[in-house]
Amino acid sequence: MLSCSGVGESSGIAGGLGLALEKLRHVSGVGRRSAAMPPAAAVSSEQRGRAKSTSYAIFYGAGPGKLVEELAVELDDAKTMIEDWHAAFPTVKGWTERVAAGCAVDGFVTTIGGRKRYLHGIRSRNDAEKRKARRQASNTVCQGSAADLIKQAMLHIDARLAPPDAPHVLHRAAPGRLLLQIHDELLFEVAEEAAPALRDLVREAMTEHVEALRVPLQVRIKQGPTWGSLDAVATLVSPPSQAEVPA
């Protein structure tokens, strides 16, 4: 089995919203304002997951009360988390405001792949509906664009594994087959001797044949006899685009 997952895809969509672990020391619970920032290698999987959950919550507008409920922290700590997060990423709020404003004018938002989502609630006179539509606007651009990226990679991989003239997708010349997509993770079945060739194909598809971004995409590859017993074999990073992309 071969598992290939993108790391932080959606956070990189919004022109520089990549979540640096060094800046997330507070929300991940590994430090406080007065503490020295730990190196990325010192952040545990649990802390990383906590930081990711907290960042998504704050990004999509969760207030102190919501963080208290989800993270079981004191109210003052929740307020500090939000303040620290916005201090670490000062341009995020402006970006979400621009996305919402554009949606209010156009009536829709567009993903990096060009797909549109119409949000009629953005023009509602009902404040609750309007706030919901604003959250959906930012969510769609980030999560929808992440979906665009993984689909681009899947299409490239499929074309290489099963050429158009192949009799069926499981033709014998293929080095492996794609079994599942789980969010930003792709799970393959492959013979052990063919795994290196498939890893090269996946590396190319997930780091080179995707939309160019100003922030690099990181891809983690794991391999093992079963889905539940995979070991990391490589971590790959795509080169960031040098082109000027509107933030």
Instruction: Identify each DSSP E strand in 114-184 by its residue range.
Output: 116-118, 176-182
More confident residue, 232 or 24: 232
Tokens standing for 8? 């932080």
More confident residue, 126 or 72: 126
**Residue 71: per-residue pLDDT:** 81
More confident residue, 212 or 119: 119
**Most confident residue range from 43-47, 174-178, 222-226:** 222-226
Asked whether the predicted pLDDT for residue 19 surpasses 60, the reply is no
Q: Position 77: which residue type?
A: D
Q: How far apart are CA 113 and CA 153, in angstroms?
A: 12
What integer is the mean pLDDT of 70-99?
89
Q: Could you report how far apart the first and last alpha carbons of the chain are, in Å?
A: 38
What integer is the mean pLDDT of 75-91?
88
Q: How far apart are CA 150 and CA 181, in angstroms?
A: 9
**Residue 191: per-residue pLDDT:** 85
Q: Position 208: which residue type?
A: E
